[in-house]
Chain A
Amino acid sequence: MDETLTNQIRRLRFEHGEMTQQDLADRVGVSRQTIIALESGRYAPSLPLALRIARVFDVTVEDVFQLGNGPPPNR
């Protein structure tokens, strides 16, 4: 089954005061490169990181990440 992980991180950042990638990276404890890789769909985060990102935006994990059809991202 082809499944790809899509996310709403970019949209959520802009809805939260145009938060920069570096701001988000600092708040969840990763580098800006990891946020770039996440937003571009090239990297699937660990569960703790997904939960930290959802917590920053005060939404559920499902509001940030969705499973869709297509090639799987690098894990």
Chain B
Amino acid sequence: MPAQLKHAWLDLVTGTTALLTYLALLPFVGPERAMVALPILAAGAFAPLLYRRPKGTAAVVTDELDRLVHLRALAVSWAVLWLFFVAFCMTTWHLHRGGTVRAELFPIMVGAGYVLVTVSRAAATIVMYHRYTAAPAA
């Protein structure tokens, strides 16, 4: 399995776990305190370990296909981030009586945006590797 694909699975698992933990805590502690779930994303700090070349080998860690997948996944996550950002601002602006976006919501927006970017990039990476390397139809 390519290192970048392992990285994508790590991001997908940590991002989904953080999101589910946040949603599980939300009814009990509220939206701001439920953000204690976000440090789960710190597991992503182990990603560089996945890119180590096995000792004593000349194995290829990343190549041109990996770079293409990376760029395309980044474009997908960038689109998701902007859609989320606009939807979040429009929704809070619409719901808030003053017709403004409450400043205390911004940490939630940043946290949720980071989780969305992480998960969408990971999912796009996994899907693209599957498409590129799946066995051809008989």
Residues of A near any B CB (own CB < 8 A): 25-26, 29-31, 33-34, 36-37, 40-43, 45-46, 49, 74
Point out residues on B near A: beta carbons under 8 Å: 2, 58-60, 62-66, 68, 129, 131-136
Considering the complex, give the chain B residue whose CB is closest to the CB of A75: B68
Residues of B within 8 A of A41 (CB): 136
Q: Which residues of chain B are near A34, meaning CB under 8 Å?
A: 63-66
Contact residues in A for B64 (Cβ distance below 8 Å): 30, 34, 45-46, 49
B60 and A37 within 8 A (CB)? no
Q: Which residue among A30, A34, A41, A42 has the maximum number of chain B CB atoms within 10 Å of its CB?
A: A34
Cα distance A74–B133 in the bound complex, in angstroms: 12
29 residue pairs A–B, Cβ–Cβ below 8 Å: A26-B59, A26-B60, A29-B60, A30-B60, A30-B65, A31-B2, A31-B62, A31-B63, A31-B65, A31-B66, A33-B65, A33-B132, A33-B133, A34-B63, A34-B64, A34-B65, A36-B133, A37-B132, A40-B133, A40-B134, A40-B136, A41-B136, A42-B131, A42-B132, A43-B65, A43-B68, A45-B64, A46-B64, A74-B131
Choice from B58, B60, B135, B136 contacting A31 with Cβ under 8 Å:
B60
Query: Across the two chains, which residue of chain A brings its CB closest to B67?
Result: A46
